Amino acid sequence: MKALDAEVVVIGAGVVGSAIAKELSGYRLSVLMVEARPDIGDATSKANTAILHTGFDASPGSLESRLVARGYGLLRDYAGRVGIPIEDTGALLVAWDDEQLSVLPKLQAKATANGYDATQIVDADAVYARVPALGPGALGGLLVPGESIICPWTTNLAYATEAVRAGVQLRRNWPVERIEVNDQVTTVHGPAGDMTCRWVINAAGLGADRIDAMFGYERFAIVPRKGELLVFDKNARALAPVIVLPVPSAKGKGVLISPTIFGNVMLGPTSQNITDRTDTATTVDGIEFLRRKGMSLMPELMMEEVTAMYAGLRASTQHDDFIIEADSAQRYVVAGGIRSTGLTASLAIAEHIVVLLNEAGLRLRARQDLPGPMRMPNLGEGFMRPYRDEQRIAADARYGDIVCFCERVSLGEIHDAFASDIPPVDLDGLRRRTRAVMGRCQGFYCGARVQQLLDQCAGERP
Amino acid sequence: MTARSGDLHVDVAIIGGGPAGLSAATHLRAAGVGDVLIIEREHQAGGIPRHSQHTGYGIRDLHRVLNGPAYAAELVARAEACGARILTGAMATGWSGPLSLDVTSPSGVYRVHARAVIIATGARERPRTARMVAGDRPSGVYTTGQLQNATAIWGQHPGSRAVIVGAELVSWSAVMTLRHHRCHVALMTTQYARAESYAAMTLPGRLLLGVRVATRTQVVQIIGKDRVQAVRITHLDSGKSALVPCDTVVFTGDWIADNELARAHEVAVDPASSGIIVDAGLRTSSAGVFAIGNVVHPVDTADVAALDGVHVAAQVADFLHHQSWATAPVELQAAGALRWVSPGRIDPSGPAPARSRLLGWGSTVLRTPTITVEQGGICLSRQKLAWPMSPGRAFRMPWSILANVHPSRGPATITVA
């Protein structure tokens, strides 16, 4: 028999697929990760609210609740090891009417049922003491000290980088069209070619139901839920010292205001079910909705400039939980319906899938020959960045050559991104790896030079 | 230079080497100030004119007519000839003391300690995101600055069919750049009932450049996954919308002062203009910190910015000599069709501002604007001007309208109607 292309094919290189590939790379088997988009983390994973959740408001007893709680600790440890920036800001749920106020004790009880008992109900004075810029009318709140902000891009990239360094083969621009399951071999077909494997793991995010259907399932249907977000200028950062969360109520979920790890403030998301899985455009109505919400939540914030606007698609399904199941007969595992909590849960999802694979008969033996520890470039504003690092600049002048003024991204960091294990292929990818052109001027000063570097460095690659 | 220790001591640190900063350096040196350092984050000093190929620079300050790059080069040459030091590729990233700056450059991280600081960081155009224009995020979306930087400095090419958002002076500059690169301008849009720049620009613009200007119109959506394919425009009065096919969109004008360093130092900024609030001597709210050019008045022409540099030199020299810093007693407020006014504080008994002009920005076109000055409920002066107000360019008012302002009767209000 012809040798297989890989023992396991992971479909999807978002934060979940990359976490799975990274986890599997610790065992003695060959892994191939395919991604339909031009880059890893280029769909749902790139556009979320970037919060490391405690899982306090999950449905108690659900798989999501368990994996978010477990993933929270795992990701914290991992982030510390590889240098993913996290800031422990804490969150404050703010009640704006009596109904929301009456929900707070129930939320607190829910948190306890989820194993999180650090929440605290506070009165209006305490709410304004923590977030003085809030608009008038707050009646009280619930403090959730463990909620934190994290860099979602570095997380995804760190997983994928570690996987690739450990020997996982990554194929970008590799959409899957058809899957053929035979007794011993599964063949995955796409416009870019075929690949054979023993096992398939479906972490296809917005496409997970379609891949699932290729195995004959009709377990779930993805309903993309569009969430539009506004990101405000760094001058606004002091207005949002904590994550300000809405209290879920009969009137809908409401929007949050959160500091970002890059030093901005984020307002959103909207929530709208759509049909087109590629529609990540912001809308006139969505922006107007956020503008109105912002005016009542934090009027001062609306005085600041908007630095970025984007829309993310959440892979919601008709079910209220993650769908993670193994089919040993078809040598197939699905990780579907992973919503915004997937970032926090990612490492626990990967760990859970290893257990499922073992149970389903894939013998996993730990490797002893893994590459040494790695360190990711820091994109967090609260941590040492190259432009401030005297020793680094003394050792290599390129770190003192600031290309993107607004985000203070140096030439050294841009060169590093192109020399990395998974180099960017477009401006968006470079932005996620370095923050270049992500700032307030949106390219007024540096757009042309960054484009030049992109053309030059992308051209130099084999 | 004490580069080894990372500390640099100078008399005056100027942040930004554009027309304002370069002129200030030249005239400070001419006034006998010893050590003048310009901190310029670009690799070449000169500011925006470096990539503005058209002519018309240098009229008011150099009494010559030059194109942008030649003007920039001339200002750099003059500053260097006078013995000012220009540190290029060096960015002031923050403050480490009242008059001390953190500076990053390829040659190291410095703390620059000055006896006086001049902020001359200029202004930028409001980009698409800050205008909250909905839609996809394709390539082909520019500001004039990025477009001209890309074409003039880096030899990049725009697309073949453009929509220009705005009809200010700078918008016509974008038109000329695009035409030079054989990019057809399909449409110019302005939310105003008339193009914002004067007929002097708009009429020849329309006749010679053949550009259609859609007034009372707003671009509300950008369409295209990888490259722009079209924009959706909406008429502000009728609400009717239409798609305009294009592969390039240039957001022009609608200026924001680059006030980040000022705000990081708690230097007062006018929320109406985003500019730094100064008095007639270009003093900010922070002792020893001056501000000049378009970071004060976003924006006036390069030569007006440069003349701020001339004006500030004597003020800085005087401060270095006497070490006295007083807050001008009277706050100026803008009203009516006047969005903002600069200087924002004045001392009626003190010297006049640069060019003896007040600068402001209008929210509408007025052919013969009337300026009224009031203080404490009393009308101090009323004057009809012989020149128009237009929302696409700075509005200049004579200093003499403030002749009767009293130092201790509270804020004075300037109303333009």
Q: Are A319 and B140 in contact (CB under 8 A)?
A: no
A with B: how many residue pairs have Cβ under 8 Å apart?
A: 118
pLDDT at residue A252, as a whole number: 63
Q: Which pLDDT band holds residue A457 (cuts at 50, 70, 90)? A: confident
Residue in A42, A387, A444, A445 to test binding to B, most B beta-carbons within 10 Å = A444
A375, exposed or middle or buried, with CB in 10 Å at 0-12, 13-18, 19+? exposed
Report, as an integer, the average pLDDT of B337-343.
97
Q: Are A143 and A90 in contact (CB under 8 A)?
A: yes
Q: Is B368 on the interface with A (CB under 8 A)?
A: no
Report, as an integer, the average pLDDT of B4-31.
93
Percent of chain B residues past pLDDT 70, beyond the cut? 95
Per-residue DSSP letter, A364: -
Q: How far apart are CA A286 and CA B134, in angstroms?
A: 9
Residue in A441, A453, A455 to test binding to B, most B beta-carbons within 10 Å = A441
Q: What is the pLDDT of residues B173-197, one digit of tens each?
A: 999 999 999 999 999 999 988 776 6
Q: Is B157 on the interface with A (CB under 8 A)?
A: no
pLDDT at residue B2, as a whole number: 37
What residues contact A460, with CB distance under 8 A and at least 6 apart? Answer: A418
Search chain A and give the residue with CA nearest B137.
A281
Percent of chain A residues past pLDDT 70, beyond the cut? 98
pLDDT at residue B332, as a whole number: 98
Q: In the block, which residue shows the tokens 């305490």?
A: A126
Residue ranges with strand state E in B27-99? 36-39, 55-57, 66-67, 85-87, 91-97
Q: Do B108 and A441 touch (CB under 8 A)?
A: no
Q: Which pLDDT band holds residue A220 (cuts at 50, 70, 90)? A: very high
Residues of A in contact with B127 (CB under 8 A): 440-444
Q: What is the pLDDT of residues B183-242, one digit of tens each?
A: 999 999 999 887 766 555 555 556 566 788 899 999 999 999 999 999 999 999 999 999
Q: Do A400 and B109 touch (CB under 8 A)?
A: yes
Q: How far is B387 from chain A (nearest CA, A)?
A: 32
Q: How far is A457 from chain B (nearest CA, A)?
A: 15
Q: Do B134 and A451 touch (CB under 8 A)?
A: no
Nearest 5 degrees, angle CA B351-CA B26-CA B265?
A: 65
Per-residue DSSP letter, A70: H
pLDDT at residue A199, as a whole number: 98
pLDDT at A404 over 50: yes
What residues contact A94, with CB distance under 8 A and at least 6 apart? Answer: A127, A131, A134, A138, A140, A141, A244, A245, A246, A247
Q: Do A408 and B104 touch (CB under 8 A)?
A: yes
Report, as an integer, the average pLDDT of A266-281.
93
Name which of B47-56, B92-101, B304-313, B407-416 the model is least confident about: B47-56
Q: How far apart are CA A350 and CA A207, in angstroms?
A: 19
Residues of A in contact with B260 (CB under 8 A): 234-235, 440
The pTM of the full predicted model, rounded to 2 decimals, is 0.95
Residues of A in contact with B139 (CB under 8 A): 427
pLDDT at A142 over 60: yes
Residues of B in contact with A303 (CB under 8 A): 271
The DSSP bridge partners found for residue B412 are B332, B375
Q: Are A264 and A151 in contact (CB under 8 A)?
A: no
Report, as an integer, the average pLDDT of B110-136.
97
| Mean model confidence pLDDT for chain B | 93
pLDDT at residue A99, as a whole number: 93
Complex ipTM more than 0.85, yes or no: yes
Residue type, A346: S
Q: Are A271 and A227 in contact (CB under 8 A)?
A: yes
Report, as an integer, the average pLDDT of A163-179.
98
Q: Is B268 on the interface with A (CB under 8 A)?
A: no
Tokens of B180: 């030079």
Residues of B in contact with A401 (CB under 8 A): 89, 105-106
Percent of chain A residues past pLDDT 90, beyond the cut? 94
CA of residue B172 relative to chain centroid, distance: 17
Q: Are B103 and B111 in contact (CB under 8 A)?
A: yes
Q: How far apart are CA A406 and CA A410, in angstroms?
A: 11
Q: Do A282 and B150 touch (CB under 8 A)?
A: no
Picking from B119, B52, B39, the residue whose alpha carbon sits closest to that of residue B303 is B52
Tokens of A361: 């008969």
- Residue A443: C-alpha distances to residues A446, B255, B274 (Å): 5, 15, 19
Q: Do B136 and A281 touch (CB under 8 A)?
A: yes
Q: Do A390 and B156 touch (CB under 8 A)?
A: no
Contact residues, B window 294-313, toward A, CB-based 8 Å cutoff: none
Report, as an integer, the average pLDDT of B334-346.
97
Residues of A with CB under 8 A from a CB of B: 230, 234-235, 278, 280-284, 286-287, 291, 303, 305-310, 387-390, 393-394, 397-398, 400-402, 405, 408, 427, 440-445, 447-449, 451-452
pLDDT at B3 over 50: no
Q: How far is B106 from chain A (nearest CA, A)?
A: 4
Q: How far apart are CA A73 and CA A54, in angstroms?
A: 9
